[in-house]
Structure 1
Amino acid sequence: MIKCIPLLFVFLCAFELSAQTDYRKIVNASDLHYATPVGRSEDGMPTGNGRMGSLVWTIPSALKFQLNRVDVFGNNSSSHNFFERHTDYCNGTGTVSIDFGTAVFTNTGFSQHLDAYDATVQVKGGGVDASILTSAVSDVMSVSVKDNRKIKLPVQVVLSSLRKPDMRRGNHRALSKAYVQGDYIVLTQQFTEDQYYCASAVAIQADAHAKAVQDEQGVVRLLLRGSARNRVLIATAASFDSTEDIAAKAIQILKQARTISNETLLREHRAWWHQFWKRSYIQCSSANGDADFIQQHYQYYLYVMASSSRGSYPTKFNGMLWTTGGDERKWGGLYWGANQSCLYNALFATNHTDLLQPMFNMYSNAYRSYELAAEQQWGSKGVFIPEVTGFDPTPPLPEDIAAEMRELYLCKKKWEDRSQHFIDYSYTLLPFISRWNWKKDEGWKNGIWHTGDKGGGAFGHTTHIFSRGAKIAYQYWMQFEYTQDTAFLKQFAYPMLKGVAEFYRNFPNFRQEEDGLFHIRHVNDNESIWNGHNTVEEISSMRGIFPVAIRAAMILKIDQGLQREWKNVLEHLSPLPLNEAGNAWVGSLPPVQQGNAGRRPDGNTMPVWFFDLCTLQNPDPATLRIARNTYHNYYPQGIGKDSKVFVLSKLPVAGITLGLKEATEYLIPAQLRTAEIIPLRNRMDLREGAQTTSVQRLGRAAEALQLALCQSLPPAPGEDPVIRVFPAWPEQWKASFKLAARSGFLVSSSFANGQVEFVEAEAMANAVLKLDNPWKGRRVAIYIGKQLIRESIDDLIVFSATKGSLLKFVPVH
């Protein structure tokens, strides 16, 4: 009995810690507060529901918005009209201005506040208060205005197009039409080219006392009579179906919203967001404020992703839903896998699988086209997922073009011997698409567009990157690990894993050579090494994807023959490339056509780390020694307060994966305060150029923070993950969290005074928990609910749990 009293006391303390989570306080720490109007539109505050969204900013007389959607694209991947880089466009639907007739938003008496917990924006100034939300449950924005001015001037709601009514580029056509329909003002867009069609609509209505008008210049307005209160409802819609009446679709959304009071709309909206925030959290603090600063950005990152990644397509790295100057932006309408990973990698541990679904949908929907691309472009089997892709499937190639492409890209035919037919066919195709990325813009001369190559023949920055497919497939595997959803594994994840494994195994330039090992030649190492040999990206990818494909096949009890083939490849696969001293990994073995083969692995991708080849659970001391040597080469003077981290860098993630507490303490804040570019007032940045407002660096920092608090990494790819809490946490910082783990558990824990206080794990499926004992050398009490089950002194605690059971681990004092 004497023994049980401290056990019970510790357990009750742990229960109190886990039960007293103030989600509003945690999330509201990430709010935005402006005491003066923004000086540029890109500093506006984001509001969105994952499908539509806008920044909210002001000019002296008006509230400003640009309504954007994730499912609006001016063209698809087959276009022959955007052969000049950065000219293709997407996402924009129209701009809205609510003008109060005089300067109300000035430096005097101004405030603008984003409440992240409620997902609302409040703007006050000059006797006018506005409350803005983008409904979490329907595609409508509500702007509620209180006009407390003594003299109430008429208010105008102006809806404007992003371009002239009829714009053409070759046979690409963009039609915009603004008009009045009853009490509504409407703006539609239609984009057509060959068989491609996409349309969008914006429709606006006010609650009362409004007149819809159109002037001689075609501008449409709602005129609101002077009134103490007004509500403006703005709906958007989009479609790829040319038979659908897109304006009617948007108006119907408005009609439904009009039947709901603003109080009810706000209540439903808040309910969704409050449930969202309860699914996970991170709370941390430190004496110098750096941990608090990190938490602030982490919760804000989650707010931005939930506001922009719940639609039919992933939010884009270059602008997301936050462009404000039209729908053109640097890098256009395509997706770069490396950049997208900055946004999406940190979402797995947040317990918000719905935010990942747009990414999985885009790749799964294009699966058949990736099969054809593997065959046509590379003469291989399986699937080829390019680094740079459109939102749509990879276009098929004419057979004669495909045959010549294989000869050229596999280095069987000299580049200078390519046919005029191949040159002519590629001339007008999108130059950022990976298969055409050897193209170089040479500009307009005498009214003719000139293009050449980048000096590498068939090689360009992204032409010969195969590791993206492996990384996408590995993300599918991770989704299975987090959810333990065998239906997802069977229907979506395993086809990707099998497809990528088979692509590598059958790739013509992947062969067993005289040394008895499989080598891969004529491939890139990310964007900087071209035409390399056994590049670290591709060897890491194969060392990650083959064992995971084998494990998935074993779980599903299928493809025994392929399992044997894959095991044979693994057993005879070349090792990761090493420097001459043999103590650190490098980018490639020689020869290479362009780039430095002996450089460090790309700090923005860190492939050895991504594929779990050097985790703290790895039992091979030699591998961990090489990993630490390699990492040291990035910071030869050590990590400290002056260490610099750029926007896309995975160096904080890699250092924390190795258990380096200084990576948490110094590199995460350094990434958020990045030396590369000055962050905007809204914590986002324009790292990629004009109109590219994004949270890439926040996503990278979020992933690093999660790993510093809770790692659930396997000893090697395809093996069982082991949970480690606070593996790289500074001893002087405090923290508590609730995060998802790759073994199918929702893990909570807290850290104070240099000690882990408790660990709690809720089983999200029938699963086996493997916990690295955070109190080594001490007995650990294990509870299910409030019932003591047993004690353990093992360094690795293993426990089988049924779905829904709540495990608690506390040290015995």
Structure 2
Amino acid sequence: MFLVFFVSLWFIPTNAFSQEKELLNNNVTWTTQSKNSSESMPVGGGDIGLNIWVEKGEIYLYLSRSGTFDENNTLLKLGRVKLRLSPNPFAGKTFKQELILKDGYVQITGTNGNLKAEVNVWVDVFKPIVNLEVKSNKNISLEADYESWRFEDRITKGKENNQNSYKWAPQGIVKTFKDEVSFQGNKVEFFHQNKDESVFDVAVKQQALESYKSVLFNPLKNLIFGGSMQGENMIIGKKYVGQYLSTPFQGWSLKSKKSSITNRITISLYTSNTTLEEWKRGLSALEEKGKVDYDVSLKASQTRWNEYWDRSFIYISSNDSLANQAGKNYQLFRYMLGCNAFGSSPTKFNGGLFTFDPELTDTTLKYTPDFRNWGGGTHTAQNQRLVYWPMLKSGDFEVMKPQFDFYLRILKNAELRTKNAWGHNGASFTEQIENFGLPNPAEYNWKRPADFDKGMEYNAWLEYEWDTVLEFCMMILETERYNANNIQEYLPLIESSLTFFKEHYTYLANQRGSKALDVNGHLVLYPGSGAETYKMAYNSTSTIAGLKSVLHRLLELKSATEEQKKKWQAMLKTLPPISFREFAGKTTISPAKTWERINNTESPQLYPVYPWGIYGIGKPGLDTAINTFKYDLDVLKFRSHVGWKQDNIFAARLGLTNDAANLTKAKLKDSGRRFPAFWGPGFDWTPDHNWGGSGMIGLQEMLMQCDGKDIYLFPAWPKNWDVHFKLHAPYQTTVEGTLKNGKIENLKVTPESREADVIYVLK
């Protein structure tokens, strides 16, 4: 039974909260060096992610950046940097490496006898420049090495092709083409220039879209990415060869002209769809920016990270150590997401910007550091959504933009694909979709019957699954409701996604018979899919719930015209009802009206609970939704905390405190790797970002749920978990509070007018 009552609020000065001290307690500190890249620490900003570790007295960095896709759509790293100091402060007995969350950088210190040194590594949030600053109490010399494993063309075979868009179905020989690396003056310059033909061309031909090719968006065309490394007081050193783990490489060294107590290295990273001459000019201009206002730039980046942490947080203090781990890892994973705030591409679910040598995840995969399972430019929408949903309550609206723009860029391609395949309107976004808007070619399948529907993926898991785009449409709409974002540019995307379902299922019904609607005037959503699990579904619950929720949300838009509202209302009337079934005499939500087979282990019968919010606390039918969680035999069989599983979120939304707490603790506990938030591989890869995202969502939903203007606090929160939190709610509202010993000690709601909408829920 729930105790529900409106809480009286009082306001306190912001400095009464100890947020800065709590954040400091979430720093990650190591006092011993690492064994290899799997024991690396993430650091980043803007759209750059670095893996940094110290191994045998040398500092290593993997360089990653959003949008660096090669001809095969592999998300290539930009190389590895190695730093050596002489005499070496890291050859002594005193060592520390710390991720300083508040300011968004890593600091490495070491003492060797009387020599002391400090190395600060940070990424400029507003310019794609990596900075390394070395300070010491005595003069030291520096050697900075740039290392590349792409010094020659490399044929990728077998499972290694899972890093690209060919995956298990390569067409002929697949090569990762070499980079160009050279000394230029007193710097090392490196770049990858995509060749004229790419997997885009292969997919267009495969999917019979060559007549549209000239107008299709192609992000791989003329793409050049890379950068340069240079430093104050640095000159050209040697070129050398070596091997790290199973991967041979070549290296280019810069070395100190003379020893000094201060040394700086800058790595400028530049990406553009252009000519090589123009790319070099762009890189040169970026390098000049990196030479000026170093301290001002550092301060600006630190200020941005300070603002990021002030925006939202969850700090847990409990006798339950796993609860404390969940709170800390929430912060660590949010930091990783913030490193791609301004990326040209979304944060990938299968490792983001922080993958490392694959054989350290799976010893059989002795591939290069470019490898990640499930592709680089391929997006699996069911996974991607879990990376981005938690950003609403954390208030990270600008970090959501790369994901929204991903769909906006490929909208026309998806519409042309629909028109070409079926002759009707609307954008068809498949579940495994390329960054150019077409189905992944391996999933589309080359071994398909000659007369098979050319708009369909010939794949038992993915067929007829195209409703996940509705979740991204809803996220866009929610940024308007949460933050008053202007979303006009995205409305064509939302409307086209809805149009597809209306026109396609009318089209399919007309193919089968003389009536486009059923006896009740509803669309016949067949064939459909309940996630990847319930296949050949008739009236899939996840699809119905998504369509209804998006349409209802559109009708709330103040900017909508009467004509638009009439159109949306008319479509709402054509949507069939959600179906139900029984277990142990209990009514439960059914995944669909009927289905032919089960392919995976998702529970889309609970999607009306999350993300769609049709059932939940304070709403009709809560008992039916709880029955589904407790008695549905598929739901029980599929339950887990691993990877993209979202049972913790369902439990939280249903107010099932013990289940929510246990599942969320299991999901957000330390990863078992040196960096606590490097979960995985789960079902995907390491670090598993949809594992972290679903953990974040669950913790947020345990603390706060929103329905219309109502704000429910602690709907599934254990009374013995003390917490200090700040979360965002709709209508430009923030809620900050402290729960101690089961009681609210203070609560601050901004604006004050929203205090009347807060409902305190205690189980």
Change (3 A) 1:231 1:381: same
Query: What is the deviation of 1:683?
Result: 2.0
Q: Unaligned regions of 5+ residues in structure 1, if any?
A: 1-9, 76-81, 83-87, 396-428, 441-451, 714-719, 777-813
- Where do 1:373-384 residues align within 5 Å? 373-384=417-428
Cα distance in 1 for residues equivalent to 2:131 and 2:676:
21
Task: State the partner residue of 1:312.
Answer: 344
Letter in 1 for 2:346: P
Letter in 1 for 2:631: N
Task: State the partner residue of 2:299.
Answer: 267
Change (3 A) 1:727 1:90: same
Task: State the partner residue of 1:211.
Answer: 235
Letter in 2 for 1:696: N
Say if 2:147 is the partner of 1:160: yes
Pick one of 734, 745, 751 that aligns with 2:722. Answer: 734
Change (3 A) 1:310 1:682: farther
Say if 2:330 is the partner of 1:298: yes
For 1:527, what is the secondary structure of its paired residue? coil
Cα distance in 2 for residues equivalent to 1:185 and 1:247:
13
Letter in 1 for 2:529: N
**TM-score (structure 1 length as normaliser):** 0.76
8 A contact 1:722–1:771 mirrored in 2: yes
Pick one of 416, 429, 437 that aligns with 1:372. Answer: 416
Change (3 A) 1:219 1:40: closer
Cα distance in 2 for residues equivalent to 1:114 and 1:71:
25
Task: State the partner residue of 1:630.
Answer: 628
Task: State the partner residue of 1:363.
Answer: 407
Change (3 A) 1:589 1:222: same
Cα distance in 2 for residues equivalent to 1:382 and 1:246:
37
Say if 2:545 is the partner of 1:520: no
Task: State the partner residue of 2:734.
Answer: 746
Query: What is the deviation of 1:328?
Result: 2.6
For 1:155, what is the secondary structure of its paired residue? strand
- Where do 1:83-482 residues align within 5 Å? 88-100=73-85, 105=90, 108-125=93-110, 127=112, 128-147=117-136, 152=140, 154-166=141-153, 174-194=177-197, 196-208=221-233, 210-213=234-237, 215=239, 219-224=251-256, 225-242=258-275, 245-261=278-294, 263-325=295-357, 326-333=369-376, 334-394=378-438, 430-432=441-443, 436=444, 458-482=458-482
For 2:275, what is the secondary structure of its paired residue? coil
Query: What is the deviation of 1:135?
Result: 1.6
Change (3 A) 1:94 1:246: farther
For 2:78, what is the secondary structure of its paired residue? strand
Query: What is the deviation of 1:183?
Result: 2.0
**Structure 1 range deviating more: 545-554 or 726-735:** 545-554
8 A contact 1:585–1:600 mirrored in 2: no
Task: State the partner residue of 2:748.
Answer: 760
Letter in 1 for 2:99: L
Structure scoring higher RCO (CA < 8 A, sep ≥ 6) equals: 2
- Where do 1:796-811 residues align within 5 Å? none
Pick one of 39, 50, 65 that aligns with 1:69. Answer: 65
8 A contact 1:382–1:500 mirrored in 2: yes
Say if 2:540 is the partner of 1:497: no
For 1:180, what is the secondary structure of its paired residue? strand
Say if 2:760 is the partner of 1:774: yes
Task: State the partner residue of 2:710.
Answer: 722
Change (3 A) 1:238 1:388: same
8 A contact 2:715–2:761 mirrored in 1: no
Pick one of 592, 597, 619 that aligns with 1:588. Answer: 592
Task: State the partner residue of 1:611.
Answer: 612
8 A contact 1:93–1:201 mirrored in 2: yes
Task: State the partner residue of 1:792.
Answer: none
8 A contact 2:354–2:687 mirrored in 1: yes
Task: State the partner residue of 1:20.
Answer: 16
8 A contact 2:36–2:55 mirrored in 1: no
For 1:723, what is the secondary structure of its paired residue? strand
**What is the root-mean-square deviation of aligned Cα atoms in Å?**
3.4
8 A contact 1:437–1:460 mirrored in 2: no
Letter in 2 for 1:366: I
8 A contact 2:542–2:608 mirrored in 1: yes
For 1:518, what is the secondary structure of its paired residue? coil
**TM-score (structure 2 length as normaliser):** 0.81
8 A contact 1:207–1:232 mirrored in 2: yes
For 1:97, what is the secondary structure of its paired residue? strand
Cα distance in 1 for residues equivalent to 2:436 and 2:636:
45
Cα distance in 2 for residues equivalent to 1:118 and 1:246:
31
Q: CA-to-partner distance for each residue in 1:13-43, whole Å, 9 max, x for gaps? A: x433644233322222221111222223022
8 A contact 1:283–1:736 mirrored in 2: yes
Cα distance in 1 for residues equivalent to 2:492 and 2:635:
45
Say if 2:689 is the partner of 1:695: yes
Letter in 1 for 2:535: W
8 A contact 1:712–1:743 mirrored in 2: no
Say if 2:679 is the partner of 1:685: yes
Query: What is the deviation of 1:769?
Result: 7.7
Change (3 A) 1:181 1:317: same
Query: What is the deviation of 1:583?
Result: 1.1
Letter in 1 for 2:17: T
Pick one of 544, 569, 576 that aligns with 1:539. Answer: 544
Change (3 A) 1:497 1:579: farther
Q: CA-to-partner distance for each residue in 1:49-82, whole Å, 9 max, x for gaps? A: 131121101221421111111021013xxxxxx5
Cα distance in 1 for residues equivalent to 2:534 and 2:642:
20
Cα distance in 2 for residues equivalent to 1:17 and 1:44:
39
Change (3 A) 1:635 1:568: closer
Find the structure with the greater CA-based Rg.
1
Cα distance in 1 for residues equivalent to 2:59 and 2:732:
45
Cα distance in 2 for residues equivalent to 1:26 and 1:65:
28
Change (3 A) 1:634 1:269: farther
Pick one of 30, 54, 59 that aligns with 2:50. Answer: 54
Cα distance in 1 for residues equivalent to 2:83 and 2:602:
52
Change (3 A) 1:550 1:505: farther
8 A contact 1:656–1:728 mirrored in 2: yes
Query: What is the deviation of 1:92?
Result: 1.3
Letter in 2 for 1:647: G
Task: State the partner residue of 1:3.
Answer: none
Seq. identity, %:
19
8 A contact 1:656–1:708 mirrored in 2: yes
Q: CA-to-partner distance for each residue in 1:286-328, whole Å, 9 max, x for gaps? A: 2324443222112112211111232111111122111334323
8 A contact 1:529–1:587 mirrored in 2: yes
Cα distance in 2 for residues equivalent to 1:103 and 1:498:
61
Cα distance in 1 for residues equivalent to 2:288 and 2:312:
35
Letter in 1 for 2:182: Y
Change (3 A) 1:91 1:357: farther
Query: What is the deviation of 1:226?
Result: 3.3
Change (3 A) 1:44 1:755: same
**Structure 1 range deviating more: 242-251 or 225-234:** 242-251
Change (3 A) 1:107 1:686: farther
Change (3 A) 1:542 1:137: closer
Cα distance in 2 for residues equivalent to 1:457 and 1:139:
38
Cα distance in 1 for residues equivalent to 2:557 and 2:421:
27
**Structure 1 range deviating more: 172-181 or 345-354:** 172-181
Q: CA-to-partner distance for each residue in 1:702-748, whole Å, 9 max, x for gaps? A: 111212222112xxxxxx34211222221222223221112332222
For 2:441, what is the secondary structure of its paired residue? coil
Query: What is the deviation of 1:391?
Result: 2.3
Pick one of 700, 705, 708 that aligns with 1:711. Answer: 705
